[in-house]
């Protein structure tokens, strides 16, 4: 770049501009020059054109744009693009030159390719339409044997990080990571690129398929690669802990090699601490899994923690040494708390933490408070922490707000019955001077603690009303809702609450939340204090109404409801209240006006029966979980890494502890299920199939009632005009092979395989083909249908180098009463590696209209589950009609009529319409195309009969498709006797007609 003299002169000119006007003038001049160079003479005088060529590779549309180059050489393009980038960095808008930057990426020279990638990462964003132009060049550089080109491509992917890049290039990045020929610096960049893509688009990457290969790289001899891969595994394990459970032992072994064997390079010693980043990552990774059952593993972890605790006793030489040492130490303490909060190591840690929270260094105080909050959330006894209660309270007044937040979390976690009053009182005092950024969270925590540890109702009411009075607008709706619930549900509390809230309303200070609480409580329970001095009905009404005009519209509406309850409770103040109702009959707000009119009408009725019925005392609220806790958890939120514990004491972490126990049991079951599934005794266990004949006999009366009112029986083919009798139906069913009953129930909550839609959508209108394919497996399908029955053969091809063991299949239908599916034949238990193939047969039967396709599961190795959708839709059970003339077609077309049995849609095609492809598509959906029926030869007219068995009957389907070649649009019209079937057929046809077959 230093050799580009024109660029150097341009930068010097910009720096010499004294005012913005001169800079703008120089920028505009240079832009005009660059634009003229890019649009200059073309070779052979041909104008600048773009030719779009659509190339289909595995049905993925890649757009290549070739353009005729100008006379500029690579050096000149690089120079002009650099000038554009400099302008862009200065803040000027660049609206041209993007394609020249893309062109530089394809250059064979490193300097030009580097500038091209730099321009792409700066000028493009993940949603840019031009990103697709870069994908193929980037893929080519990923496949290149030149490591420098690999790194440039990885940088671009990580910086742009769009969904399209993730879908297209993630497998290539993964290949670079696991390749034994990749250099260490390429592996590091590949791991971090995958991490970036996973954080942005976790749903498009098959990370579960990569688990074993990625985990194995954690043992890499290069500590930089090990650190990058451990960071990647740390992210994957948080979302897929079972699939990445093998990382646990790898992390322990790596820590053992660093701390015990001292197996590390001198390049990774940071101020006498060996590779502290890798130690912290491994210690954090272990916290996402339950404590191991293996005694050897537990012993190794205990030894490692003792070594880290011993190393922390060394006096730090400088700040950097202290930071590295403390980072490892605090993560080790967190792991010790996670494994056993009552161990001797945790007892030692509690003493250390007491010293850390009094440290002069802000970072050490912060980490000490956070780690002590973790200890308080897990330990059985809080006494070691309560010894430092005064120091912790002092942290609320620390000069750093982050330390104040951690002090608040610790006080919240360490609060119990013995110190609740002290802690809550301190928090209320601090609330008056607290930062506004902390007040809402503090209000929630004080309200939760007051409710949780209240020893007397009066104390709870005093604390909450004082909280509302102090915090004011920072009190959320959840707080006063909860107060009302508790007061309503406790009779002993109602009188005291009414008297106390009236005292607060008597003060000149305005607080809208207090007005809401007072309006509700006095409206419900004001009669309990009406005989006390200063609490007469008129005084209650005046205390509330004095704040009425200051309130928002919603609060005024609530107070009007309180007033109508006053009319019912205190007839002596009826006149004053009716005056308010009469005044608000004419306000502009419709809610206030309606309430005032209705309340006035009810209050002035001849009898009070209606009023008393409406104003009955509110019944107790049902017991429910406090919404304050839910709100607090939303306020806390998660950071980049998921929390391994929750703020709020041991009770708040019970659910997580149960989750870890469930994970441990699942891991135990997955390891124990492998030998049991392959045992000969289980393999020879006979399976029981449920007979279907009785069910069909019960359905016979329904089939007799399913009369075709529009004589659509005439639409059937010549050899199929006879209707099946119940006897033949039963015979047909018994001739079908006996279904295979799976030994275990089908999997639950398994997400669909990423990218399954491609093969699924194609298979909707074909009888055989590839249903799904990835780097390890190919799933193909072959099907045949006769009437309402169908048979499918699913072929599983192993593409990996390892055999598939303990293979099991499941097929389920969400509505078996409309579509039943069963496995038949013998299921393969093992599929050999490198091209081995297995086949699973399935039998389906259509009973009625359905709109959800069945699911197919393949389980291998006892845990890895592939979930696909089978392409079984209504048109699969359709017989095409090709022998109908125009008169018969339009007769039946008119008999059906328009909506709702007609379903019509206008479709804008995303690809050029090709009539031959459309014809093949309609025939693939089993519509018989009628030639010569429509006067326009470009229009398509089709007919068919859908067989839905004895219960659903046969439904005739008519179709008209009218292409508009000039506008590249269709008008699709489907008519059937059933509006549900018409809608389903329209939905099935709309997508392939929009995006092309």
- List the one residue out of 360, 316, 309, 300 whose CA is nearest residue 334: 309
Contact 509, 472 (CB under 8 A): no
DSSP letter at 69?
-
Helix (H) or strand (E) holding 969: strand 969-975
Contact 558, 484 (CB under 8 A): no
Cα separation values, 869 from 3, 89, 127, 221, 272, Å: 59, 48, 29, 42, 56
Q: Where are the alpha helices (DSSP H) in 217-314?
A: 223-239, 247-259, 276-286, 295-311
In the structure, how many helices (H) and strands (E) does the chain have? 43, 19
Q: What residue has token string 């007219």? A: 941
Contact 280, 328 (CB under 8 A): yes
Q: Which residues contact 991 (CB under 8 A, 6 or more apart)?
A: 761
The token pair at 322 is 């202290």
∠ CA 79-11-117, rounded to 5°: 40
Through-space distance between the first and last CA atoms of the chain, rounded to whole angstroms: 49
- Determine the Cα–Cα distance for residues 384 and 624; give it in Å rounded to an integer: 34
Count Cβ atoms below 10 Å from residue 296 Cβ, excluding itself: 9
DSSP-assigned letters across all residues of 513-525: HHHHHHHHHHHHH
- List the one residue out of 783, 830, 787 whose CA is nearest residue 809: 830
- Residue 45, SS3? helix
Cα separation values, 168 from 135, 910, 996, Å: 8, 21, 20
- Determine the Cα–Cα distance for residues 587 and 289; give it in Å rounded to an integer: 62
Contact 248, 286 (CB under 8 A): yes
- Residue 54, SS3? strand
Query: Sign of the CA dihedral 897, 898, 899, 901?
Result: positive
Q: What residue has token string 């009955």? A: 616
- Give the residue numbers of the binding site: 5-6, 37, 75, 79-83
Cα separation values, 295 from 291, 292, 307, 984, Å: 10, 8, 18, 59
């Amino acid at each position: 770049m230093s050799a580009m003299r024109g660029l150097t002169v341009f930068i010097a000119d910009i720096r010499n501009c004294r005012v913005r006007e001169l800079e703008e003038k120089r920028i505009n001049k240079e832009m005009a020059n660059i634009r003229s160079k890019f649009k200059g003479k073309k070779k052979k005088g041909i104008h600048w054109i773009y030719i779009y060529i659509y190339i289909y590779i595995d049905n993925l549309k890649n757009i290549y744009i070739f353009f005729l180059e100008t006379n500029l050489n690579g050096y000149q393009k690089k120079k002009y693009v650099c000038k554009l980038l400099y302008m862009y960095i200065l803040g000027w808008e660049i609206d041209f030159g993007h394609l020249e930057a893309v062109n530089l990426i394809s250059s064979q020279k490193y300097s030009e390719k580097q500038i091209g990638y730099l321009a792409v990462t700066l000028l493009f964003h993940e949603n840019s339409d031009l990103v697709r132009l870069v994908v193929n060049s980037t893929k080519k550089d990923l496949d290149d044997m030149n490591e420098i080109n690999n790194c440039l491509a990885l940088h671009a992917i990580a910086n742009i990080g769009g969904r399209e890049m993730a879908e297209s290039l993630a497998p290539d990045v993964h290949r670079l990571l696991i390749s034994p020929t990749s250099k260490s610096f390429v592996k590091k960049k590949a791991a971090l690129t995958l991490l970036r893509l996973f954080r942005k688009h976790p749903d498009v990457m098959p990370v579960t398929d990569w688990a074993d290969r990625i985990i194995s790289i954690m043992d890499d001899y290069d500590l930089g690669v090990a650190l990058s891969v451990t960071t990647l595994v740390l992210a994957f394990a948080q979302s897929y802990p079972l699939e990445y459970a093998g990382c646990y032992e790898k992390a322990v072994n790596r820590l053992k090699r660093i701390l015990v064997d001292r197996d590390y390079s001198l390049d990774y010693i940071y101020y006498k601490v060996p590779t502290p980043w890798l130690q912290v990552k491994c210690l954090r990774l272990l916290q996402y899994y339950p404590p191991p059952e293996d005694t050897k593993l537990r012993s190794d972890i205990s030894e490692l923690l003792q070594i880290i605790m011993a190393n922390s006793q060394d006096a730090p030489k400088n700040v950097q040494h202290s930071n590295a040492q403390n980072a490892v130490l605090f993560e080790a303490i967190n792991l010790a708390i996670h494994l056993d909060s009552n161990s001797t190591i945790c007892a030692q840690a509690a003493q250390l933490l007491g010293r850390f929270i009094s440290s002069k260094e802000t970072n050490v105080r912060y980490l000490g408070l956070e780690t002590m909050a973790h200890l308080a959330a897990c330990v059985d006894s809080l006494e070691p922490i309560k010894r430092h209660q005064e120091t912790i309270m002092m942290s609320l007044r620390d000069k750093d707000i982050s330390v104040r937040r951690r002090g608040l979390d610790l006080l919240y976690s360490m609060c119990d019955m013995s110190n609740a009053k002290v802690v809550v009182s301190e928090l209320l005092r601090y609330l008056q001077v607290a930062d506004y950024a902390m007040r809402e969270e503090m209000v929630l925590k004080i309200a939760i603690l007051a409710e949780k540890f209240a020893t007397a109702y009066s104390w709870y009411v005093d604390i909450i009303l004082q909280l509302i009075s102090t915090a004011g607008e920072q009190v959320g709706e959840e707080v006063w809702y909860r107060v009302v619930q508790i007061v309503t549900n406790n009779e002993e509390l109602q009188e005291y609450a009414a008297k106390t809230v009236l005292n607060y309303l008597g003060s000149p200070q305005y607080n809208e939340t207090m007005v809401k609480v007072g309006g509700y409580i006095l409206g419900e329970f004001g009669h309990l204090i009406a005989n006390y001095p200063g609490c007469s009905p008129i005084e209650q009404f005046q205390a509330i109404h004095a704040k009425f005009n200051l309130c928002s519209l919603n609060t005024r509406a609530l107070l009007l409801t309180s007033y109508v309850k006053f009319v019912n409770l205190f007839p002596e103040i009826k006149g004053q209240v009716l005056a308010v109702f009469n005044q608000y009959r004419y306000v502009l707000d419709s809610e206030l006006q309606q309430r005032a009119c209705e309340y006035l009408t009810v209050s002035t009725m001849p009898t009070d029966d209606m009023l008393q019925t409406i104003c009955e005392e509110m019944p107790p609220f049902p017991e429910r979980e406090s919404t304050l806790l839910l709100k607090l958890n939303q306020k806390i939120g998660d950071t980049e890494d998921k929390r391994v514990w929750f703020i709020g004491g041991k009770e708040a972490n019970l659910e997580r502890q149960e989750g870890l126990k469930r994970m441990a049991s699942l891991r135990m079951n997955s390891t124990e299920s492998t030998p049991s599934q392959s045992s000969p005794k289980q393999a020879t266990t006979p399976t029981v199939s449920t007979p279907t004949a009785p069910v069909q006999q019960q359905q016979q009366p329904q089939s007799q009632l399913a009369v075709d009112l529009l004589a659509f029986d005439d639409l059937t083919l010549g050899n199929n005009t006879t209707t099946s009798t119940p006897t033949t139906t039963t015979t047909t069913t018994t001739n079908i092979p006996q279904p295979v009953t799976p030994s275990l129930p089908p999997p639950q909550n398994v997400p669909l395989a990423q990218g399954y839609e491609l093969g699924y959508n194609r298979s909707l209108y074909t009888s055989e083909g590839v249903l799904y394919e990835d780097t390890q497996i190919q799933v193909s399908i072959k099907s045949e249908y006769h009437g309402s029955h169908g048979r499918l053969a699913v072929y599983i091809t192993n593409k990996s180098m390892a055999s598939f063991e303990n293979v099991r299949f499941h097929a389920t239908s969400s509505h078996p009463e409309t579509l039943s599916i069963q496995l038949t034949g013998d299921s393969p238990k093992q599929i050999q590696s490198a091209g081995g193939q297995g086949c699973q047969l399935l039998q389906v039967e259509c009973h009625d209209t359905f709109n959800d396709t069945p699911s197919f599961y393949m389980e291998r190795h006892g845990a890895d589950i592939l979930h696909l959708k089978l392409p079984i839709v209504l048109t699969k059970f359709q017989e095409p009609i090709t022998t109908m003339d125009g008169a018969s077609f339009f007769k039946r077309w008119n008999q059906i009529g328009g909506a709702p049995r007609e379903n019509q849609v206008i479709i804008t095609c995303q690809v050029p319409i090709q009539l031959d492809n459309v014809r093949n598509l309609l025939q693939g959906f089993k519509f018989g195309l009628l030639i010569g029926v429509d006067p326009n030869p470009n229009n398509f007219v089709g007919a068919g009969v859908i067989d839905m068995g004895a219960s659903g009957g046969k439904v005739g389907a008519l179709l008209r498709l009218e292409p508009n070649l000039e506008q590249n649009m269709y008008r699709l019209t489907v008519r059937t006797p059933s509006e549900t079937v018409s809608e389903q057929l329209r939905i099935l046809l709309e997508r392939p007609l929009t995006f092309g077959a």
